[in-house]
Amino acid sequence: MGPIATDIRSIKIQIEEVKILKLQAVGKCVAIEGINSSVQALKNKSAVAAENFIVAVEDINTRWNKLVDGIFDREQALQDTLIKLGELDTSLEDVNGYLQQVEEELSDLDNVHGDPKYLETHIKKLKMVQDDLDNQEAVVRALNHNLAEMRAGDKGSKHSPLLDKQEEMNELWKSVNSSLRDKRNRLQEKLTGVKSFLGDVEDVVNWLSDFEQTLKAVKTIGALPDTAQKQCEKFNKSEHLIQLNAKNDQAHALLTSGEEMLQAYNCHPFQTVQIRSSLAKLKRSCDAAKKQAKKKKLKLQEHLQNVTGFHSVMKIFTDWLISGETSLSKLKTPSKLVEPIERQIKAHRDFHDDVETHKEIVDRLDRTGTYLKYYGAKHDAIVIRNQLLSIKLRWKRLLWKTEERGRLLNSAYKEDKRFADDWKELVGWLDATKESLNKLMAQRPSPVRMKEIIDEIKIGRKHPRYYATTRLGRNLKDRCTKTDPEREVLSKMLDELKTKWTSLRTEISQKQTQLDSQLLESGRLVEASKSLIDWLEKMEDALSDKHPTRGDQDTVHSLVEQHKAFQEEFDSRRSTLNTLQQTANPEDPAVLQQLNTLNDLWAKVDLLSNQREQLLQKNLKSASEFQAAVNALRDFLPQAEQELKFQPLPEHELAILQLMERHENFEDQLQEMEPNVESIKELGEEIMEHCHPNAVRFVKYYLTITHTRWEQLLERSRGRRKRLEDALEDIQGNLSRLEDLLAYLSDAEVLLLTKQEDEIPETVSLVEDLLKQHMEFHEELQEKGKEVEKFTAVQSDSSRTSAGYTPKLKTVQRELLDPNNPMVTQLQHRWRDVWRMSVDRKKRLHDHLEHLLELESVKNFNFELWRQRYLAWVKTKKARITDFFRKQIKNEDGTIRRHDFITGMLDSKFPTNKAELNAVFNIFDRDRSGSINYREFIEALRPVAKKPKRHMSEQELVHDEIEREVSTCKCRSQFKVEKVDQGKYRFGDSQKMVLVRFLNSTVMVRVGGGWVTLQKFLENHDPCKAKGRTNTELREQFTLADGTAQSRASFSSRRHSGKASNSGSDAGYSSASSSAGSNTSLAGRKGAVTPTPRTTDGRVTPARRKAATPTPRSVARTPPPHR
């Protein structure tokens, strides 16, 4: 808007423009208020997040206030101008029109209802109206003043239209102000009431939210029926539920009041958005809280049922375990008969199936118990864990015993079945053979047929089967107790088998004797003698030495019985031999020869029979001795092994000596038993030399098992003696070591007490020396602690400090010294005191050293270095500097106090100390408020912006490059350079002036008629950069070519007074030089082409041939080559 006009018409137009602008501003008032409310809400939630918007909002508010003030000031100025121009009538009409408009606007506010934001917006509008009225007050006063002066000057006029308008203005003014105050008070009361109502709603919602969080919080549950029942009852009678009912009533009342309020307002929904959302939130919270409480109650009841069911199942399972263990322990040993053991196997299979079916119960108990262990109360969880461990172990043990008994029953069944089958088969064969033999013999067969019948029986082939069955039955019988009725059954079975076997053998022998008698009676002497000779030859082979007769006692007994049966048969056939001798014809040479052979064979068999009998008696005696020795050793070994069973050794020397004496007696018993073991070995080896095949397996088993167990017994006995000797030696040596340790600890205690009285110096080096010395002493003390551990148990505390572990000592029952020994107790207390004194001194020295170092660091503290270290550390952590600030905010105002800052920085592991952090905090806290905000933190750590370098002129760049290149000279007399004027320098001893300029980012030197780079020029003239050139070449004068001027107006062709061909050549060089000087840049040029001196015929001179060759080279500011 332009300046205030001077004519009335223009002023009126400007007044209308201000009114239009004022209406627009009033419309924007709601938006401004919304922005401020949003920023305030964001700041309440997160001050850090709102930090980025506060500046912009403050700027908007400042500009808005300036705009409003400007509108009011311009309107007032326009009104003042209008009054000054004498247009009182117009001013009165404007003011009255304005007041009438305000009155109409205020009348529209009679039924304003809504949420706080809507009411605050209208209050803000009323405030603007009030501000506008305040600004109009000056206009009203000015009008009243002017009208009063006018009336005073025109006393004759009593009535005027202006006076009526004045009265109307004053009445409107009073009415509008009164109405405005009334409207503002009413809106303020409504706002207070609505806020109070919403506050009550918010309080109830917050309480309900806290109640939900309380219910959702994970709490330990009762894992036992009693605790679960108490927990359920406690929840039902808890104050929270009582308060919930009260809050529900309060919420219902608030909802009813809110609905009535909305109905009474009868306004547009957008005016009551906050009220409606609060009521909806209250209803949701109320429903959610009731639902959560009901869910919690149902969950506790369900948990109570689960816990009760778990413990009832556990009790039933425990009772079943007790019953199973009892029944398993009362079971009889496996039967030795087939039918009883089959019944046992069937009953055990049923029991095993019952055990297997309980596996699912064990798994279910384990799953439920694991849940209760982890989520139940600690004391209940311990009970549950112990019960589960006990049940699982007992069930596994029961299952293992069940399976073991099943294997034992199966093995016994196989053995019983084999004996029963063999016995039945043998008995059946014996009965059938005897019955068949009797039937055949009842038919009175001929001698030939009788001989065939006897030969068909072949009882000798059944003898191994008979022997094995008899031995197996005898083993089964021996495993029965003397009172076991099965022992009698087995004895009867064995006796029956033996009786039938002997009966059949006797029957066959009698039939053989009867056959011989028939042959003799029938005069068939040859056949009778032939039959007897065959039998004797067969017996001779059976009685020969090639058949072994040694073995175990059962085998030798069987051989003795076989030999007795043979002797009986042999004696029964002696009558046949006598008959043959009596009835033989002495005159028949064949008969006599056969009779002589028979007599010789008979005598030989008789001799072998007697020898076999003596040998069997001898072998039987040896087998009995072997068996007796084995039985004696087998009876001794279990007792000896029980004696050597591992047991913890006592702690007293007297008890150790008693054990050693007892062990010596035991070793005497071993020595007494050793001859028995040797006899077992000797007898076993003798028996194995001529052992019967049936006894080889048993004899080898006896030898192996006795030798192995005996060697193990001896090894354990030697180990037991070694343990006892070591224990006795340790006990006797511990006493002296204990005395040495006590003496060392006494000296250490005196030393620490002496050092404790001395003051710690204030010098860092001295404190470091003291700390180093004490660390050596502390390490030595720690080494002594390992020896102390032999007498006391050192348990380190769960929290280890930087000074080392803090030992807690207690006596150990497994040590060799008596824990009640006064010296052990004294060592324990002395060690604890010395160790604590050493740790305390170490901590004091370390803390004092850190304090001195902090003071030292604060003296030389440089915040800029600290800031750079911190920023580098944050960068290595791949974090942001704002992360620390956000993490440490604990105040509602979004600031960090000194203690929180120091603690948080130390916890972040950044290498610093408290003294430095205190100094840093003082730098951060610019306003000395005791806390730092986000802006102070960021601005203090923000990198300091580097000042931009001043732009150097071309001459300064040239001079800087010359100084840089010349500074690399290493000669005794440095290469001289002198600046004569701008762009003119003298180089070297010749002190010839040359031109130097800056061309395309390259420093160029004028040489002859051309230009070369500064680096190339110095390489040709500086001895440090000569690269093998002679001094003569370096001392060359800077001779200019004919017709060339040493000036800056160069880069033109050289003119010679020679031939035209030379001029053309010179022009070419000049063109090359100009190209090099004008077109070559810092990034693109590889080198400079130097004009080369030539002879008159155009050839290059030898002295400059090398320099005439273009060489690639770096451009300006290239470092000199390495020499």
Percent of the chain with pLDDT over 90: 5
Question: Is residue 506 exposed (0-12), middle (13-18) or buried (19+ Cβ within 10 Å)?
Answer: middle
Helices (H), 237-377: 239-265, 273-329, 338-357, 359-375
* pLDDT for res 521: 62
Are residues 133 and 208 in contact, defined by beta-carbon separation less than 8 angstroms? no
Coarse DSSP helix, strand, coil percentages of the chain, rounded to the nearest 5 percent: 75, 5, 20
Pull the structure tokens for residue 969.
Answer: 């000279």
Q: State how far the Cα of 526 lies from the Cα of 575, in Å rounded to an integer.
A: 16
* pLDDT for res 83: 66
* pLDDT for res 160: 64
**H/E run at residue 1106:** none
One-letter amino acid identity for 1069?
A: Y
**Cα 819 to chain center, whole Å?**
40
Q: State how far the Cα of 82 lies from the Cα of 1040, in Å rounded to an integer.
A: 90
* pLDDT for res 1087: 37
pLDDT tens digits, 781-795: 888 887 787 676 533
Is the Cα dihedral 1108, 1114, 1116, 1121 positive or negative? negative
Confidence tier at 1077 by pLDDT (50, 70, 90) = very low
For Cα atoms 38, 39, 42, give the angle at the middle one, nearest 5 degrees. 90
pLDDT tens digits, 442-472: 767 766 677 777 767 777 778 788 888 888 8
Q: Which of 56-70, 440-454, 504-518, 1100-1114 has the lowest mean pLDDT?
A: 1100-1114
* pLDDT for res 925: 85
Q: At what angle do helices 653-689 and 589-643 cross, to 10 degrees?
A: 170
Q: Which of 49-63, 158-172, 827-841, 1028-1042 has the lowest mean pLDDT?
A: 1028-1042
- Across 399-417, average pLDDT: 92
Confidence tier at 407 by pLDDT (50, 70, 90) = very high
Confidence tier at 218 by pLDDT (50, 70, 90) = low
One-letter amino acid identity for 315?
A: K
| Number of Cβ within a 10 Å radius of residue 943 | 9
pLDDT tens digits, 632-651: 888 888 888 888 887 788 77
CB hemisphere CA count around 20 (13 angstroms): 7
pLDDT tens digits, 980-1029: 888 888 887 767 788 888 777 788 888 877 888 888 888 887 777 755 55
Q: Which of 46-55, 423-432, 656-665 has the lowest mean pLDDT?
A: 46-55
* pLDDT for res 115: 78
974 phi and psi angles, rounded to 5 deg: -65, 145
Mean pLDDT of the chain, nearest integer: 76
- Across 746-770, average pLDDT: 83
**Cα 860 to chain center, whole Å?**
44
Q: Strand, coil or helix: what is 718?
A: helix
**Residue 41 predicted with pLDDT over 80:** no
Which residue from 423, 413, 422, 421 is spatially nearest to 335, judged by alpha carbons? 413
In order of 72, 105, 928, 1020, the CA distances from 169 in angstroms are: 19, 17, 56, 102
Higher pLDDT: 1084 or 59? It is: 59
**Residue 199 predicted with pLDDT over 90:** no
**Residue 529 predicted with pLDDT over 50:** yes
Confidence tier at 403 by pLDDT (50, 70, 90) = very high
* pLDDT for res 154: 59
Q: State how far the Cα of 417 lies from the Cα of 582, in Å rounded to an integer.
A: 55
* pLDDT for res 414: 92
Radius of gyration of the chain (CA): 64
pLDDT tens digits, 330-343: 888 898 888 999 99
In eight-state DSSP terms, residue 480 is S
Q: DSSP for 455-478, please give it.
A: HHH-GGGGHHHHHHHHHHHHHHHH
Q: State how far the Cα of 473 lies from the Cα of 476, in Å rounded to an integer.
A: 5
**Residue 1045 predicted with pLDDT over 80:** no
Pull the structure tokens for residue 765.
Answer: 């080096």
Which residue from 459, 495, 465, 463 is spatially nearest to 477, judged by alpha carbons? 495
- Across 217-238, average pLDDT: 80
Pull the structure tokens for residue 410.
Answer: 């199966």
Q: State how far the Cα of 412 lies from the Cα of 341, in Å rounded to an integer.
A: 8
In eight-state DSSP terms, residue 376 is B
Are residues 723 and 731 in contact, defined by beta-carbon separation less than 8 angstroms? no
**Residue 128 predicted with pLDDT over 80:** no
pLDDT tens digits, 1054-1072: 333 433 333 333 333 333 3
In order of 584, 614, 622, 676, 850, the CA distances from 625 in angstroms are: 50, 17, 5, 10, 88
- Across 542-547, average pLDDT: 81
1098 phi and psi angles, rounded to 5 deg: 95, 0
**Residue 410 predicted with pLDDT over 90:** yes
Higher pLDDT: 339 or 133? It is: 339
Torsion from C-alpha of 883, 884, 890, 895, nearest 10 degrees:
-100
Which residue from 1085, 916, 914, 1116 is spatially nearest to 1003, judged by alpha carbons? 1116
Tokens 């002295």 — which residue? 1103
CB hemisphere CA count around 805 (13 angstroms): 10
pTM listed for this prediction = 0.47
In order of 230, 243, 306, 547, 1041, the CA distances from 237 in angstroms are: 10, 11, 22, 98, 119
**CB within 8 A of 429, min separation 6: which ones?**
462
pLDDT tens digits, 940-963: 887 554 445 556 777 778 888 887
Confidence tier at 1096 by pLDDT (50, 70, 90) = very low
**CB within 8 A of 1011, min separation 6: which ones?**
999, 1004, 1005, 1050, 1051, 1073, 1076, 1077, 1088, 1090
One-letter amino acid identity for 871?
A: L
Pull the structure tokens for residue 84.
Answer: 């000054």
**Residue 68 predicted with pLDDT over 80:** no
* pLDDT for res 1060: 37
* pLDDT for res 43: 74
For Cα atoms 363, 365, 369, give the angle at the middle one, nearest 5 degrees. 120
**Residue 346 predicted with pLDDT over 90:** yes
* pLDDT for res 312: 92
Higher pLDDT: 900 or 1081? It is: 900
- Across 583-590, average pLDDT: 69
* pLDDT for res 792: 67
In order of 19, 487, 521, 593, 617, the CA distances from 342 in angstroms are: 119, 18, 58, 65, 42
* pLDDT for res 208: 86
**Residue 291 predicted with pLDDT over 50:** yes
* pLDDT for res 316: 92
Q: State how far the Cα of 672 lies from the Cα of 670, in Å rounded to an integer.
A: 5
pLDDT tens digits, 856-878: 766 677 788 888 888 888 888 77
